[in-house]
Structure 1
Amino acid sequence: MLVLVCVTAGCSKQEQGQTATVTSGDSSNTLVIGAYSVAKDAVGELLPKFQAEWKAKTGQTINFQESYEASGTQARAIVGGFEADVALLAMESDVDKLVKAKLVTADWKQTPNEGMITRSIVVLGTRAGNPLGIKDFQDLTKPGVKVLYPNPKTSGGAQWDINAIYGAGLKLSEEKEGKKDPAAAKAFLEEVHQNVESLDKSGRSSMAAFEYGVGDVIVTYENELLARIAKGVDYDIVVPKNTILIENPAVVVDKYADKHGNRELAEAFIAYLRTPEAQRIFAKHGFRSVDPDIFAETKESFPTPAGLFDINYLGGWDEVRKTLYSKRGVWYQVLAGL
């Protein structure tokens, strides 16, 4: 474990696989951030702006320590002793791990947008020109199509991907049979998974593999592809007819923020993430805003697919954990070929 100590104003950044820990000095001046890897670029732009705002408001110069990991890995690190003051994670169920460990209070959703700070959808990314003619999730089952998505054991983004494919299978069964058929949805997921080229640790790692040339199609966050296209990378985005709405939470890690004496700073940072300025920056990096006004400003960049569904279509996170990701759940049966 790499230990970094902030001793001057500014930011110290942690790459994937590393953890930051406050070990000495005035920790009330240092905000420790544990974030999921996909949020790294947006957070990197937001921190200096918040730093300047806090300086203007209080006269205090603050420091940052940042750790970026796959969401599930990040949550487990915080539970294991990484003393993050705030956590930006890929999904609600990773925050639930912090609640279970008594690091975050159970009422964390009693905040604007139920604790969510960004949204996205699961989409498909193809090589420039979409040479295989990919139009929907069904095309991922065709022979010879090489698919990428990360490992849901470590990646929150991967769980969104699997939820989207499984949910699309349920939608297809409804269209054919008039009701949800879990067996048909599982079979659909199995067909897609048979074409998976590799399971990477995080959404960011999966995207890096795709950029390196691995695979024909990547199942990923819309924002990941939009951010790369904005930087000049030539990909096509395919929006499936039936796909899931992604919602990403941010929370104060109560136990550690109180321990470090910086609850006010941590709460101010979370509040800043909901401001119009921050929401526009998130939108610039491809995220769908949780602010209705900012989303209205940017909606031309974010099409709404006809069959868009949210986690409640799958029964909510408790049901999803039991149905898909328990030791005998659908995902592990697919992995085992059962």
Structure 2
Amino acid sequence: MKRSFSRLRMYMVSMACFLLLFAGILSGCSRESGNEASAAAANGKEVTLVIGAYSIAKDALADILPKFQQEWKAKTGQTVKFQESYEASGTQARAIIGGFEADVTLLAMEGDVDKLVKAGLVKKQWRDTADQGMITRSIVVLGTREGNPLGIRDFEDLTKPGVKVLYPNPQTSGGAQWDINAIYGAGLKLSEKQGEKNPAYAKAFLEKVHRNVESLDKSGRASMAAFEYGVGDVVVTYENELLARIKQGKKYDVVIPEYTIKIENPAAVVDQYADQHGTRKVAEAFVEYLREKEAQTVFADYGFRPVNEEVLQANESRFKVPVGQFDISYLGGWDQVRKTLYSKKGIWYQVLAGL
């Protein structure tokens, strides 16, 4: 009896080992066939495109995605389904680097796409397209309560005692970096009026504004949400954020500073994941579609300044160019800005620490 029980136990152990081995083989097969299945789906009647975008693009994309679906279906007979994620630009870039397998990304600034290039996810040639990879433009403006009760006219008014200011955190938000670049650049412009382009003056100007900041939110969208809830007197934000809300019936005034920065927002195929998923063809078509008239018209309706020249001319009366507008090159380009403003010992962190 003992011998029979021993044999039975050995048989059960052997079977358990065999089943574990077989399960491992099946698991390996399923992993190997996963990409094949994904590629097969991409070449079949249905394809899923994963979008990782910065939060401010969400509303416009809600209208754009169905239009692209219709166009792609008419051209190819293939149905496109979308999986979407919206986060602050810096947060979204880190998520993609960390393993969120987006096929296409729309981010607030080219520096966040460059992070994906450094991670080996996006090719260095992503700018070798129309408009250097950009799909929308905007400017940094000031939003006030209806009627502008504090009489805000420029960035200088944000330094006055008692003025409560909102803008997001540049550690997580690309929009925040545009906001801070605009304020710092306005300080440089004001210093030039006094005789020379003076970084020390610009830093002091940024410090004065920052003293009046109520909170540093995660994203530009979060700052706008706080403003809508009644926090603060003035929000520093993208022009399109305010225009889109005014269109929805919100009662805000838009103040365009004399000196402000031109914002440019990129889109790119995340090459590694698009190739892995077998979605490159549709991903490239989608990014190209974002620059076409139909999509650009939607962007314009949501307050973005189009990169498509035809659509821009059709909306010329809506988008005034400020007399003192400057772009990122005025600050030395993004590499210089990252070094001087946002490095660990940079101007922004000195302002934050009160140094």
Superposition TM-score, scaled by structure 1 size: 0.92
| Alpha-carbon distance in structure 2 between the residues aligned to 1:186 and 1:222 | 24
Alignment of 1:330 with 2:353, yes or no, is no
Q: Deviation of residue 23 (structure 1)?
A: 9.3
Q: Deviation of residue 80 (structure 1)?
A: 0.5
What's the CA shift string for 1:200-250, capped at 9, x where partnerless? 000000000000000000000000000000000000000000000000000
1:11-90 matches, within 5 Å, as 26=38, 28=42, 29-90=47-108
| Alpha-carbon distance in structure 2 between the residues aligned to 1:272 and 1:304 | 26
Q: Which of 290, 302, 312 is the matching residue for 2:307?
A: 290
Aligned amino acid, residue 319 of structure 1 = Q
Q: Name 1:15's counterpart in structure 2.
A: none
Q: Name 2:19's counterpart in structure 1.
A: none
1:145-184 matches, within 5 Å, as 145-177=163-195, 179-184=196-201
Q: Cα distance 1:301–1:101, how it changes in 2: closer, same or farther (>3 A)?
A: same
> Where in structure 1 do 4 or more consecutive aligned residues deviate above 2 Å?
22-28
Q: Which of 180, 196, 208 is the matching residue for 2:225?
A: 208
Q: Name 1:4's counterpart in structure 2.
A: none
User: How much identity, in percent, do the aligned residues show?
Assistant: 73
Q: Which of 162, 165, 171 is the matching residue for 1:144?
A: 162
Alignment of 1:93 with 2:124, yes or no, is no
Q: Name 2:331's counterpart in structure 1.
A: 314
| Alpha-carbon distance in structure 2 between the residues aligned to 1:334 and 1:53 | 49
Alignment of 1:231 with 2:251, yes or no, is no
| Alpha-carbon distance in structure 2 between the residues aligned to 1:291 and 1:272 | 11
| Alpha-carbon distance in structure 1 between the residues aligned to 2:303 and 2:197 | 32
| Alpha-carbon distance in structure 2 between the residues aligned to 1:61 and 1:31 | 10
Q: Name 2:12's counterpart in structure 1.
A: none
Q: Deviation of residue 268 (structure 1)?
A: 0.3
Alignment of 1:186 with 2:208, yes or no, is no
What's the CA shift string for 1:257-301, capped at 9, x where partnerless? 000001000000001001101100000000000011211110111
| Alpha-carbon distance in structure 2 between the residues aligned to 1:78 and 1:232 | 35
Aligned amino acid, residue 118 of structure 2 = K
2:35–2:276: 8 Å Cα contact kept in structure 1? no
What's the CA shift string for 1:86-117, capped at 9, x where partnerless? 00000000000000001001111110000000
What's the CA shift string for 1:163-192, capped at 9, x where partnerless? 000000000000112x21000000000000
Q: Cα distance 1:24–1:152, how it changes in 2: closer, same or farther (>3 A)?
A: farther
| Alpha-carbon distance in structure 2 between the residues aligned to 1:301 and 1:250 | 24
| Alpha-carbon distance in structure 1 between the residues aligned to 2:321 and 2:118 | 35
Q: Deviation of residue 314 (structure 1)?
A: 0.2
| Alpha-carbon distance in structure 1 between the residues aligned to 2:166 and 2:35 | 39
Q: Name 1:18's counterpart in structure 2.
A: none
SS in 2 for 1:131: coil
What's the CA shift string for 1:109-156, capped at 9, x where partnerless? 110000000000000000000000000000000000000000000000
Is the deviation greater in 318-327 or in 55-64?
55-64
| Alpha-carbon distance in structure 2 between the residues aligned to 1:209 and 1:175 | 35
SS in 2 for 1:173: helix
What is the Cα-based RMSD across aligned positions, in Å? 1.1
2:187–2:201: 8 Å Cα contact kept in structure 1? yes
SS in 1 for 2:322: coil
| Alpha-carbon distance in structure 1 between the residues aligned to 2:61 and 2:35 | 23
Number of residue equivalences: 316
Q: Deviation of residue 62 (structure 1)?
A: 1.4
Q: Name 2:147's counterpart in structure 1.
A: 129
Aligned amino acid, residue 106 of structure 1 = K
| Alpha-carbon distance in structure 2 between the residues aligned to 1:121 and 1:152 | 17
Q: Name 2:319's counterpart in structure 1.
A: 302
| Alpha-carbon distance in structure 1 between the residues aligned to 2:220 and 2:197 | 29
Which structure dedicates a bigger proportion of its chain to helix? Answer: 2
| Alpha-carbon distance in structure 2 between the residues aligned to 1:59 and 1:23 | 22
SS in 2 for 1:72: helix
Work out which of the two has the higher radius of gyration on C-alpha atoms and give 1 or 2: 2
Q: Deviation of residue 24 (structure 1)?
A: 10
SS in 2 for 1:335: helix
Aligned amino acid, residue 249 of structure 2 = G
| Alpha-carbon distance in structure 1 between the residues aligned to 2:72 and 2:124 | 28
Aligned amino acid, residue 239 of structure 1 = I
Q: Name 1:105's counterpart in structure 2.
A: 123
